[in-house]
Amino acid sequence: MISLGIESTAHTLGIGIVKGGEILSNALRMYKPPSGQGILPRAAADHHADAFGLVLREALSLAKVSLADIDLFSFSQGPGIGQCLRVSCAGAKYLASFYDKPLLGINHCHAHLEISRGLLGMEDPLYVYVSGANTQIITENRKIAKGHSRFRVLGETLDMGLGNLFDVFAREAEFEYPHGSEVAKLASRGRYFPLPYTVKGMNFAFAGLLTSAVRSMGKQSKEDICRSLLETSFAELCEAAERALCLTSKKEVTVCGGVAQNARFCKMLSLLCKEQGAVFGVIAPEYNADNGAMIAYTAQSEWNRGKREKVDALKPNGCWRIDEVA
């Protein structure tokens, strides 16, 4: 089976093609907001619509297939920004209808989890899911009865996602390039100082940490603030993840989502796993960033599990939680 997946939940339009679990292509284009601003939903959606044809042709060219060769189409149904989600939904519906092929709507969070587990060859990991809007500690029961939720959220952010924490701070601090990657780069040259630390059981919060970090501007160097911001937020997640690991007795841990590209966070989690006797794994950065390949990969897995959907019934769901996936 050859499946094509379209991702457009936020700033990235991605189209990937997978054949029998092998990733053939993973093309994308990213919307970049004006300096000092976050994602502008309408502008991002317009960007995705304008880039759709180009990205589609690139994905097909890299995979060396034609649209007629595709057996299964899929798209990121949610969660995400409504205007952006409509682009992948409309595009996928058109292609599936035109070529008379089946279509599946895929949960964006599930796609991050599934491609991580699959590419790493893990059986039953504890997932540490860290993206812009979502930050959760998740387990999966792959044998659960059909119609019931397959995923359980053991802990999650009580206010904002880890990626949003870094992006908002970068904008508030008026960095030239307001993005989490700039925070990470500056942090590598800084020294730690204490900032508010909030963990409640296996849940965590970052709003107080953000406020304190912003108020430290002018009192501490930007490198020191970035270092302290990263170390504190990562420590919160590691504490919650270790508690979840002890609770579940899992022997595998993977981190997935955009922030999983941070080497320091991966190092902290790997040390935690070593102490607890668990195997740690993280996939290549290109598959942890938002991408179409993870949508196609998950769609193929879901199809093999027996999932079928009617094209006309599919519509974007911006608030589709991972623990609502059946």
Which residue's structure tokens are 């070529």? 99
Cis status of the peptide bond prior to 102, with omega within 30 of 0: no
* pLDDT score for 33: 84
Q: Are residues 185 and 273 in the same domain?
A: yes
Specify whether 177 is located in the same domain as 270: yes
pTM (two decimals) = 0.95
* 145 and 99 part of one domain: no
pLDDT at 38: 80
- Counting the structural domains of the chain, the total is 2
Range of the domain at 60: 2-111+289-324
Pairing outcome for strands 2-7 and 72-78 = parallel
Ranges of the chain with pLDDT below 70: 145-147, 177-178
Do 54 and 107 lie in one domain? The reply is yes
Residue with tokens 């993870």: 294
Q: At what angle do helices 222-248 and 263-276 cross, to 10 degrees?
A: 30
Is 306 inside a domain boundary? yes
Report if residue 119 sits inside a domain. Answer: no
Q: Whose structure tokens read 């995923």?
A: 151
Same domain, 225 and 80: no
- Residue 172 shares a structural domain with residue 102: no
Residues 271 and 203 in one domain: yes
**Domain match, 73 and 44 both:** yes
Q: Which residues of 19-43 are buried (b: 16+ CB within 10 A; e: fewer)?
A: beeebbbbbbbebebeeeeebeeee
Token representation of residue 89 = 């939904």
Per-residue confidence (pLDDT) for residue 145, from 0 to 100: 65
User: What contacts 156, CB < 8 A, 6 or more positions away?
Assistant: 134, 135, 136, 137, 203, 204
| Claim to verify: residue 181 and residue 275 sit in the same structural domain | yes
Instruction: Return d(Cα 105, Cα 76) in angstroms, integer.
Output: 6
CATH number of the domain enclosing 15: 3.30.420.40
Q: Are residues 298 and 263 in the same domain?
A: no
Residue 164 lies in a domain: yes
Structure tokens at 188: 């590598």
The answer as to whether 6 is a domain residue is yes
* Judgement on whether residues 153 and 265 belong to the same structural domain of the protein: yes
The answer as to whether 118 is a domain residue is no
Are residue 252 and residue 174 in the same domain, yes or no? yes
Nearest to 25, CA basis, from 59, 58, 55, 54: 59
H helix intervals, the chain: 41-63, 82-98, 108-120, 162-172, 180-187, 207-215, 222-248, 263-276, 285-288, 292-304
Q: Which structure tokens are listed for 173?
A: 């601090």
pLDDT at residue number 36: 72
Q: Domain for residue 117, yes or no?
A: no
Residue 116 lies in a domain: no
18 vs 22: CA distance, rounded Å: 5
